[in-house]
Amino acid sequence: MTELTCPYCDSKFLDKKDLSKHIDRIHGGAGLLEGDKRNF
C-alpha cells in the first residue's frame, strides 16, 4: 500500500481519507483555533 505524506508537516497516512481529515483538522484552520501552531 502506498504511503501518503502531508504536504504541510510530512506526517504519513495510509489513505486519502485520513490525509484529508488531517489537513482539514490541523492545517485548515481548526488546528489554529485549537492552538496547534505547527508550520504557521
- pLDDT tens string 3-36: 999 998 999 999 999 988 898 888 876 545 555 5
Residue with more model confidence, 1 or 15? 15
**Residue 31's pLDDT is what?**
46
Per-residue pLDDT at 2 exceeds 80: no
Distance (Å, rounded) from C-alpha 25 to C-alpha 34?
A: 10
**Residue 35's pLDDT is what?**
54
Distance (Å, rounded) from C-alpha 24 to C-alpha 17?
A: 11
Distance (Å, rounded) from C-alpha 29 to C-alpha 9?
A: 15
Per-residue pLDDT at 37 exceeds 90: no
Q: What are phi and psi of 26, to 5 degrees?
A: -95, -45
3-state secondary structure the chain: CCCEECCCCCCEECCHHHHHHHHHHHHCCHHHHCCCCCCC
